[in-house]
Amino acid sequence: MNISHKHKVIWWAPEESGEKKMSEILKNYDFLVINDKNDNVILSGLNYDHFVTKSGQLPDYKVICTIKNPYRRVFSLFLRFILDNSKVKKIDLPILKEQFNEFIDKIIISDKLRVKVMLLLDKEYPEMMYLKKWVFDDKMPDYFIREEFFDEDIKKLDFITNFEVITHKLNDDSYDYKTMYDFMGAKKVYHLYKKHFFLCDYNPFSFTYNELTKDEKISFLHNIL
């Protein structure tokens, strides 16, 4: 768990969410990585872990969470865990797009008029836990630090008085995620992470450069999967 007892703040650092940049800053503000069971410090100077606490733990502490546009994050995870990056460069983009949307179709399924992560695939793809824990079913963070608006959002944290952004190369820099999504694949991601788009002011239609018709937008946002 990433925590500062001095500032009474917990940091959730989901994978592929700008956590490297955030770590470089929070290590200067009395944050530690501790053992969640007995409160023993296991790392000092922060670094970070990806553990997400439950709402019953330290209820008087605020929770901040680094976050990324869900469309970009799901694509980043696909590149990170499903493909060997040394082989990705050899795959034609149409084939990469097909594999990506097959991946979405397999891990995000319809269930009782909603979508959810296919937990039965945990053994086949251990990274499914990364998608599930990022849904925030147990507790909603108090503050979001959007990677796309990092400088702007971090200034909202009153205990941070000065910082220097450290630039890190993203795993998906070589590919434009807006060219990778099929309509239905994007729709599944949107409905799984709908509250992220609302709370963090992400554009639901930011999965594509194409201008959708009014009927397509209505279908995307409202029609049952």
Cα–Cα distance, 57 to 184 (Å, whole number): 38
Question: How confident is the model at residue 69, as a pLDDT?
Answer: 96
User: Do you know the residue count of the chain?
Assistant: 225
Q: Is 139 exposed, middle or buried (0-12, 13-18, 19+ CB in 10 A)?
A: middle
Question: How confident is the model at residue 32, as a pLDDT?
Answer: 84
How many structural domains compose the chain? 1
Q: Which helix (H) or strand (E) holds 105?
A: helix 93-107
Q: What is the mean pLDDT of residues 49-76?
A: 84
Task: Domain of residue 106: give its range.
Answer: 2-222
DSSP-assigned beta bridge partners for residue 6 = none
Q: Is 107 exposed, middle or buried (0-12, 13-18, 19+ CB in 10 A)?
A: buried
Q: Who contacts 149 (Cβ-Cβ below 8 Å, separation ≥6)?
A: none
3-state secondary structure of 77: helix
Report pLDDT digits (tens) over 97-149. Answer: 999 999 999 989 888 777 888 876 666 666 667 788 788 877 889 999 999 99
Q: What is the mean pLDDT of residues 43-51?
A: 69
Report pLDDT digits (tens) over 25-36. Answer: 888 888 888 765
Cα–Cα distance, 129 to 192 (Å, whole number): 14
Report pLDDT digits (tens) over 140-158. Answer: 899 999 999 998 999 889 9
